[in-house]
Chains A and B, each alone.
Chain A
Amino acid sequence: MKHTEKELTGLKEQVGEMWRLVLSQLEKAKQAYLTGDIELAREVASREKRVNTFELKIDSDCENFIALFAPVAVDLRLVLSLIKISGTLERIGDFADGIARHVILDACSQLAGALKEELGIEAMFDTVISMLSDSFVTLESENTKLSGRILRKDEEVDALYRKAVGILTGHIEKNPAQGYCILETLLVLRKLERIGDHCSNIVEEIVFYIDAKILKHSKNRE
């Protein structure tokens, strides 16, 4: 293997590790949120720093690679997309951390499990988690056939979010006393919706890297 390729593989591996970390953060945040497990939520919050460190490390390694190897073509596209992906992963990590902090505050644990059920929060969690892991598979396999499915899942997340907003609106009218917790819940939902958006950005970056197609801001995502 050439020296350049070794360096690139190293970069890719780092991003993969960060990916696994963010994925586990998200899964733990889900667990903590659904079960109200404060210990677990604390663990998530404390590991947020590691995510940030990863981003800084990957950024500087990418900068070095560009400065020293002057990559072109597929190499250039890979490095550029890795920089953006690591930034995006860090944002997703932030959201997982935000959800964990919401659990730690423990202000709304009395909010009925039935409502969570009705809002489809678990489904939202599962969808964004599968988006994140599928996009990782896409990068690893360098095969963009999954990308369409991932982008469609983002639409599911958006639909769930809009539906949940409707439900919460009705709920807040019936139980004005629970207003604070309902808004908090809305923020959690909002975060999950954003995670979905970020995952689609990641997929777009991967498609740019592999096929050099620019999907961003284009209507025709298929």
Chain B
Amino acid sequence: MIQSKNIDFYYSDFHALKGISMEMEAHTVTAFIGPSGCGKSTFLRLFNRMNDLIPGTRLTGECIVDGRDIYARGVNVDELRKQVGMVFQKPNPFPKSIFENVAYGLRVNGVGDRKFIEQRVEESLAGAALWNEVKDKLKKSAFELSGGQQQRLCIARALAVKPSVLLMDEPASALDPISTSKIEELIHELKKDYTIVIVTHNMQQAARVSDKTGFFMLGDLVEFSDTKKMFLNPDKEQTQNYITGRFG
């Protein structure tokens, strides 16, 4: 389970997130929607502390993943990122073979047992619905795959270190519709084993894949409710205007 309590976040002077509190249950898909710059990606990146990489940021409030405040002192960020995997907007496989891409997370975490790695690579590729397509060319460069396959490879890569949470930052925005629908199918499958949080610009995608949806605007969490309710009868006028395209 993921929880945020009264999160305020600043980029230098810019107040990017304003008092966000929400709870995401295990084995559900939560989608964040909202206009560009509304803070949804920033919020997503709090949960694997990716914002740490940006200088001049400041956070107040609590971010709790599986019962632990991940911003508490003494938290090992590298361990946290193993537990909370992430998939990015543009597929970003490493310039290595398909096999080595998936094995990467294990190798940097000190796993050396070849048998174990092979088995985990297969599991992860199968988990990302890619095994059948690549099993005969594991030694080939990851760049030989199509964009959609690369993105699924990145998902497999994240799965290989056995996270409990999977963060997805617009995972299908650079893909064609068929690849997109494969990713969406995959999200439905992965829900059984992972807690998934996805940021998307595509509202229909949020509607299709998520159980709950949060609508962000100007750093506020305007509305957070069941996806079905959100898309049939949102509580807030602002939400309605945004999802029906009457925004601005």
Contact = CB atoms under 8 A, between A and B. Distances in A.
* Pairing of A with B: yes
Interface of A: 2, 4-5, 70-77, 212
B203 A2 contact: no
A102 to B, nearest CB: 42
Name which of A4, A73, A75 has the most chain B CB atoms within 10 A of its CB: A73
A73 B204 contact: no
A73 B231 contact: yes
Interface in B108-165: none
B232 A76 contact: yes
Contacts of B246: 2, 4-5
24 contacts: A4-B244, A4-B245, A4-B246, A5-B246, A71-B244, A72-B207, A72-B231, A72-B232, A72-B243, A72-B244, A73-B230, A73-B231, A73-B232, A73-B239, A73-B243, A73-B244, A74-B233, A74-B240, A74-B244, A75-B244, A76-B231, A76-B232, A77-B232, A212-B232
Nearest to B235: A212
A68 to B, nearest CB: 13
Contacts of B207: 72
Interface string B204-236: 100100000000000000000000001111100
B18 to A, nearest CB: 24
Contacts of A74: 233, 240, 244
Interface of A is mostly: helix
A190 to B, nearest CB: 36
Contacts of B203: 72
Interface size class of B (residues with CB under 8 A): 10 to 19
Contact of B233 (A4, A70, A71, A212): A212
Name which of B204, B231, B233 has the most chain A CB atoms within 10 A of its CB: B233
B202 to A, nearest CB: 11
B232 A70 contact: no
A73 B246 CA distance: 12
A74 B232 CA distance: 7
A76 B203 CA distance: 14
A147 to B, nearest CB: 17
B245 A73 contact: no
Nearest to B207: A72
Contacts of A71: 244
B120 to A, nearest CB: 40
A4 B230 CA distance: 19
3 A-B pairs with least C-beta separation: A212-B233, A72-B231, A75-B244
A5 B234 CA distance: 18
Interface string B165-183: 0000000000000000000
